[in-house]
Amino acid sequence: MARITFIQNDGTERVVEAEPGMTVMEAAVKNNIPGIAAECGGACACATCHVYVDDAWREATGSPAQMEEDMLDFAFDVRSSSRLSCQIKVTDALDGLVVRIPEKQF
């Protein structure tokens, strides 16, 4: 089990528990975290589950694969910490992960 903190643009925080194997996007949707639209349902095809990974967790979450990097072109206000949360697999090593949700997905 991994605990993930989602921080909204206004500073509101929510901590949810996620099973290893699911994605960070799935953890958000399952717990009704606002701001994660995930229109395509996790196919890396819409860029509406964009998050900023907290600096302390950048290494543990790794960097985006080619397909994800391409899809990030369709996100708004992309930063070096940008990831699509449907492409981050939850593992026990990510217990404590902190991600921030952009002001708007689009």
Partner 1 sequence: MAEDVIKTDAVIVGAGPVGLFAVFELGLVDIKAHVVDILDRPGGQCAELYPEKPIYDIPGLTVVTGQELTDRLMDQIKPFGAEFHFSQRVESLERLDGGFRLTTDTGTVLECKVVVIAAGGGSFTPKRPPLPGIEQYEGTSVFYSVRKMENFKGRDVLIVGGGDSALDWTLNLAPVAKSLTLLHRRGEFRAAPASVQKMFDLVEKGDISFKLGQVTELHGEGGKLRSVTVKGADGATFEQPTEVMLPFFGLTMKLGPVADWGINLHENLIPVDTAKFETSEKGIFAIGDINTYPGKLKLILSGFHEAALMAQQAYHYVYPDKKLVFQYTTSSTSLQKKLGVK
Residue numbers at the binding site for partner 1 (CB under 8 A): 39-41, 43, 45-48, 69-70, 72-78, 103-104, 106
* Residue nearer to partner 1 on the CB measure, 34 or 93: 34
* Residue nearer to partner 1 on the CB measure, 2 or 35: 35
* Residue nearer to partner 1 on the CB measure, 2 or 47: 47
Q: How far is the CB of 70 from partner 1 (least distance, A)?
A: 4
Q: How far is the CB of 1 from partner 1 (least distance, A)?
A: 26
Q: How far apart are alpha carbons 39 and 41 in whole angstroms?
A: 6
Q: How far is the CB of 6 from partner 1 (least distance, A)?
A: 19
Could you tell me whether strands 13-18 and 50-53 are parallel, antiparallel, or unpaired per DSSP bridges?
unpaired
Please give the helix or strand (H or E) that residue 6 lies within, else none. strand 2-7
Chain-centre distance for alpha carbon 67: 16
- 89 close to 61: Cβ distance less than 8 angstroms: no
